[in-house]
Amino acid sequence: MKAPRKIMSLIFSILVLYSFSQPVQIPWPEVTDSSNLVDTRSQEINYQVKRTFFFPEIGVNVSNEFTGARLNDLILINDSTLSGFIYPENHPVNMSPWYAFRVWSDSTKDIYFKLQYAHGRHRYLPKLSRDGINWIQIDSTDLFSTVDDTTTFFRIHLNYDAIWISAQEILTSDLTYRWIDRLSRKTFITSNIIGYSTLGKPIMAMSITESDGKNLLVILSRQHPPEIPGFKEMISFVETIAGNSKTARKFRKRFEVVVVPMMNPDGVDNGHWRHNAGGVDLNRDWRFFNQPETTALRKFILAKIQKRNARVHYGIDFHSTQTDLFYLPDEKDLPGGEGISMKLLNSINKSFPENPFTPEPSGIEGQISKNWFLHELKTEAITYEVGDNTDREIIKKRGKEASLQLMKILLKEYK
Ligand SMILES: [Zn+2]
């Protein structure tokens, strides 16, 4: 009797050890009511007509003939006021009305713009730029509407130089590809085309590593075109991982960081409010994978895992909303109870008490990237939301600090 008991306890110990070394499996919840699901099959979208509006009565030109523009129509309503119409690519659509256009005049004058949104309300404070690179927020004395109004009304001081007016800074796919190329000059960074968008633009992934590629951190951004503050924080975050700090050098020897900074190039370049060129919110396509952009990322990551017997240890998807917050898995759903997200949040907030992130548990059912990480990759992930109006200098500093803190946490968790 003694020998079998020993064998049984040995088998039991092996099973216990095995189960501890395996990530916890959390499948997608079963579909009991399909009306709770978001259909992510492609739909028709409306393309804006690209044109330059010229109003000889007042000597003013307004154009949407550039990448990232959105202005569907424009009429003169009196000798100093233009009324613009801003439509989404299709609807229903999230309340994130993007607008961007360029104005110039044959003389110095003040012009009032009234923007009317179809299927939306005012959200983004107008940003102005003379060169398309440096942006300032409109002066509060020139803005005559508040968030959630159905229209926006503001005054612009025109002279002979063209001025860009936009919901947020215009940061196109092309600019992102150039950023990737610049970073990829470093010996430890490579970039790959992992697929193509609906309109044939490359979906680029960067790999930052000096490791054996078995431990992965995955970073996404720009599923939603207007979410510029999140994109900016991602840039600072990634540049810190690619930087020369002691922590970064140590981290790269242990981890591989896969970055897909531009998930929705078609939406970004066509000035969409939310969707890709298939008329779909990409961040609802992480369960059924009907769109090429999400499918490309999934295939790339799964192939990496299989080829090297690798594991994704954490995922971050950068976005923007009204305030700074982390959408987290519910505490009870954290695989293995690691709770990396709360550790990260607390350590960032310690350094930025004036601009803290709020934790928002958001369940495990939504068809979003965070839940794909959880259900298919069996790993913890967050939606990292940066406020629409968060100070851009803070964003830069906080992205750096968040990056250093996460590297330290992951190095400690996975020695
Ligand atoms: Zn978003």
The Å distance, Cα 318 to ligand 1 centre, comes to 8
Determine contact, residues 99/120, Cβ cutoff 8 Å. no
Structure tokens at 205: 């992934």
Edge-to-edge, what's the strand order for the sheet holding 151-158? 73-78, 81-86, 109-117, 151-158
**324, 386 Cβ separation under 8 angstroms:** yes
| CA distances from residue 349 to 325, 340, 360, 401 in whole angstroms, order as listed | 11, 14, 15, 10
Going from the Cα of 291 to the center of ligand 1, the distance in angstroms, rounded, reads 17
How close is the Cα of 283 to the center of ligand 1, in Å? Answer: 7
Neighbours of 322 (CB within 10 A): 11
Q: What is the pLDDT of residue 31?
A: 78
Q: Which of 114, 302, 286 is nearest to 194 (CA)?
A: 302
Distance CA 120, CA 90 (A): 12
Taking CA atoms, 189 is separated from 139, 195, 242, 243, 265, in Å, by 41, 19, 8, 11, 22
Q: Are 322 and 388 in contact (CB under 8 A)?
A: yes
Structure token pair of residue 111: 């012009």
Sign (positive or negative) of CA dihedral 362, 366, 369, 375: positive
Taking the centre of ligand 1 as the mean of its atom positions, its distance from the CA of residue 17, in whole angstroms, is 39
What Rg do the C-alpha atoms of the chain give, in angstroms? Answer: 24
Question: With contact defined as beta carbons under 8 Å apart, do 260 and 294 qualify?
Answer: no
Task: Determine the distance separating the centroid of ligand 1 and the alpha carbon of 224, expressed in angstroms.
Answer: 5
Q: Which of 218, 379, 214 is nearest to 306 (CA)?
A: 214
Q: Where are the beta strands (DSSP E) in 245-338?
A: 256-260, 311-321, 325-328
Distance from residue 150's CA to the centre of ligand 1 (Å): 21
Pair 382, 217: CB distance under 8 Å: no
The total of other beta-carbon atoms located within 10 Å of residue 52's CB is 12
Centroid of ligand 1 to alpha carbon of 187 (angstroms): 32
Cα of 232 to ligand 1 centre, how many Å?
A: 13
pLDDT at residue 19, rounded to an integer: 43
Exposed / middle / buried, residue 240 (Cβ in 10 Å: 0-12, 13-18, 19+): buried
All structural domains of the chain, each given as residue ranges with its CATH number in brackets, are 52-166 (2.60.40.3120), 171-413 (3.40.630.10)
Ligand 1 center to 352 CA (angstroms): 23
Which pLDDT score is estimated for 150? 84
CA 60 to chain CA mean position, Å: 35
- Between the CA of 130 and the centroid of ligand 1 the distance, in Å, is 28
Encoded tokens for 189:
């960074």
Ligand 1 centre distance from Cα of residue 227 (Å): 6
Measured distance CA(182)–CA(218) in Å, rounded: 20
Q: How many CB atoms lie within 10 A of CB 177?
A: 17
Please tell me the distance from the alpha carbon of residue 396 to that of residue 53, in angstroms, as a whole number.
37
Question: What are the two backbone dihedrals, phi and then psi, of residue 10, each rounded to the nearest 5 degrees?
Answer: -65, -45
Q: How far apart are CA 100 and CA 102, in angstroms?
A: 7
The CA distance from 299 to 292, in Å, is 10
Q: How would you write the pLDDT of the chain (415 residues) with one tens digit per residue?
A: 445 566 655 555 544 444 444 455 678 888 777 778 999 999 999 999 999 999 999 999 999 999 999 999 999 999 999 999 999 999 999 999 999 999 999 999 999 999 999 998 999 999 999 999 999 999 999 999 877 788 899 999 998 899 999 999 999 999 999 999 999 999 999 999 999 999 999 999 999 999 999 999 999 999 999 999 999 999 999 999 999 999 999 999 999 999 999 999 999 999 999 999 999 999 999 999 999 999 999 999 999 999 999 999 999 999 999 999 999 987 665 555 558 999 999 999 999 999 999 999 888 899 999 999 999 999 999 999 999 999 999 999 999 999 999 999 999 998 8
Distance CA 130, CA 69 (A): 15
Q: Are 220 and 369 in contact (CB under 8 A)?
A: yes
In this structure, are strands 151-158 and 109-117 parallel, antiparallel, or unpaired? Answer: antiparallel
Please tell me the distance from the alpha carbon of residue 50 to that of residue 349, in angstroms, as a whole number.
44
Q: Rounded to the nearest whole angstrom, what is the distance from the C-alpha of residue 142 to the centroid of ligand 1?
A: 29
CA–centroid distance, 222 to ligand 1, in Å, is 8
